[in-house]
Structure 1
Amino acid sequence: MTKRFEDKVVVITGGSDGIGLATAQLFAEEGALVYITARRQALLDQAVSQIGHGAVGVQGDVTNLDDLTKLYDHVARDHGKVDVVFANAGMHQPISLEALEEAHFDATFDLNVKGLVFTVQKALPLMTEGGVIVLNGSIAGSKAYPGQSLYNASKAAVRSFARSWTIDLKDRGIRVNVVSPGATETKLMRGYFDAAPEAEAEVIKGVPLGRLGHLEDVANAVLFLASSESSFVAGHELFVDGGVAAV
């Protein structure tokens, strides 16, 4: 039985942990030739071993344009094309308006916005008709969560890019969509909730489906958006949040 992504070249930024790693594993299991990035070589090596299926790790920081060039040069030498980009690398840095400083702004927008923009831009020379771009957003881009206005705004920018790029790239046959998770069971979030069980209960109380998201919930949504099953879906934001943003 043919796998959905047999021989497709997939690039995933921030692929050494969490949503990025879970998504890379699913793509690899579906036959994709997966390339992941991460800033720390040790975590990158561990992730590549975990993914298997010939996955390749390219160490780098998406806020560094030279590192992005190195990534795509590597892919070009190996395959000469990119079929799917999952621009996943990002950060969550809660900080109140009163307390935020220039360094907070630069860190959040450099990674969540600048890094995402140039991850996509530098992939374009290798993408042909039928290529797919999936951006990792957040329901925070649509809901006003307190004490994290920088993060909220950075994810609202991600949503806006999907709209604009859908128009910009339509003549090239490249689709762009956003996957926007809600509270998801990552290592970071689990560490936070283990230290504050009452916070976990409060978050789950606000989720219509009554639980946190699993990494596989988001990964499966990314694969759907990247596959031919969503061939008539473009410029869309798919919430993977148990109903939080919708009801």
Structure 2
Amino acid sequence: MVATVNNTYADKKAVVTGGTHGMGRAVVHALLDRGAEVLLTGRNPANLAAARTELAGRRAHVLPSDATDLADIAELATRTADTLGRIDLLFVNVGLARLEPFAEVTEASYDETFAVNTKGAFFTVQRLAPLLADGGAVVLTTSIADEGGTDILTAYSGAKAAVRAFAKGMASALLPRNIRVNVVAPGFVDTPTMGIAGLSAAERAAFTAEGDAVTPMGRHGTPAEVAAAVLFLAFEATFTTGARLTVDGGIGQAISRPR
């Protein structure tokens, strides 16, 4: 099946980290379908291979990259410069969550959570910022968990709250170049992993049911709905920086679900 391209973003170039599955892949497809050229990263070999096959013949470049490895981030910057030159959008979407009660968080799981979600996000933006065109945009994925608190996502919530804070500081740092930095904060979104590492099929089903029950709109969001919010922040919200856009079906807005 040949994708329909409308050329809205025919002159745009973008980097999408964590772009081989879920919300990242939806953003990649949305960009490509509108004519953009995209360099996307991933770490899972199977997902990388699938992306190469699926995107063959399109304006897409697939790069293996580990967000926790500064050498890989430096290589991403080099490959971006060589392949795309200047970019208009950097979408930082790599993330890792584990359902771990506060009392069971270990040093190893804490370090992994912050390395992926926090260290990776910070240095990816720092190293690729010089490649952003003046007037470009950075969008980072946080989560509705970056506010409030829950026992089983304490470490993850802290890591994503840090990213939220980073975005404000980055927005200030890049303001002289008119580069806008914003975050998209999804709620429960229907992705293959549900954003949680290591879930069994039964655990995933229970987590899905819980998400539907607590979301005022009574359903999960789709990756395409998150992608629409990312593209809005990237290209349409030209007077918005340092902001947090929730895509959560009303969870964070104190909306009561009708009975």
**Fold match, TM over 0.5?**
yes
Aligned to 1:44: 48
Residue of structure 2 in register with 1:154 after alignment: 159
* TM-score, structure 1 as length reference: 0.93
4+ long deviations beyond 6 Å: none
Change (3 A) 1:97 1:145: closer
Q: 1:70-81 residue pairs with structure 2 within 5 A? A: 70-81=75-86
1:138 to 135, 143, 164: 143
Aligned with 1:62: secondary structure? coil
Equivalent-residue separation in structure 1 for 2:206 and 2:140 (angstroms): 32
Separation in structure 2 between the aligned mates of residue 143 and residue 193 of structure 1, nearest angstrom: 26
Match of 1:17 among 6, 16, 21: 21
Matched position secondary structure for 1:145: coil
Identity of aligned residues (%): 38
What are the residue-to-residue correspondences of 1:1-247 with 2, within 5 Å?
A: 3-52=7-56, 53-189=58-194, 195-196=202-203, 197=205, 199-227=207-235, 229-247=236-254
Alpha-carbon distance in 2 for matches of 1:242, 1:38: 28
Q: Deviations over 1:131-150 (max 9, x none)?
A: 10000000000121222100
Equivalent residue letter for 1:141: D
- 1:165 aligned partner, one-letter code: M
Look up the SS of the partner of 2:225 in the other structure.
helix
How big is each residue's C-alpha offset from its partner over 1:84-130, in whole Å with a ceiling of 9 and x where there is no partner?
Answer: 10000010112122111110111000000000001101111211211
Deviation at 1:151, TM superposition (A): 0.3
- The whole-number CA distance in structure 1 between the counterparts of 2:199 and 2:87 is 36
Query: What secondary structure sits across from 2:15 in the alignment?
Result: strand
**Unpaired segments of 5 or more residues in structure 2?**
255-259
> Partners of 1:240 and 1:193 in 2: how far apart?
25
Q: Is the partner of 2:183 in helix, strand or coil?
A: strand
Residue 65 of structure 1 and its aligned partner are, at CA, apart by: 1.1
Alpha-carbon distance in 1 for matches of 2:47, 2:63: 11
Cα deviation for residue 176 of structure 1 reads 0.2
| Structure 1: tracts of 5 or more residues without a match | none
Residue type of the alignment partner of 2:239:
F
Moved more, 164-173 or 192-201: 192-201
What letter corresponds to residue 246 of structure 1 in structure 2?
Q
Distance in 2 between the 1:198 and 1:113 partners?
28
Whole-angstrom distance in 2 between the partners of 1:198 and 1:154: 24
Alignment TM-score, normalising by the size of structure 2: 0.89
The 1:46–1:202 alpha-carbon spacing in structure 2 relative to 1, beyond 3 Å, is closer
1:174–1:185 Cα change, 3 Å = same
Amino acid at match of 1:179: V
User: Distance in 1 between the 2:110 and 2:137 partners?
Assistant: 30
Letter in 2 for 1:240: V
8 Å Cα contact 1:138-1:179 kept in structure 2: yes
Letter in 2 for 1:221: A
Q: How much has 1:42 moved relative to structure 2?
A: 3.5
- CA offsets, 1:148-173, max 9 Å, x none? 10001111111111111111111111
CA shift at 1:40, angstroms? 2.8
Q: Counterpart amino acid of 2:32? A: A
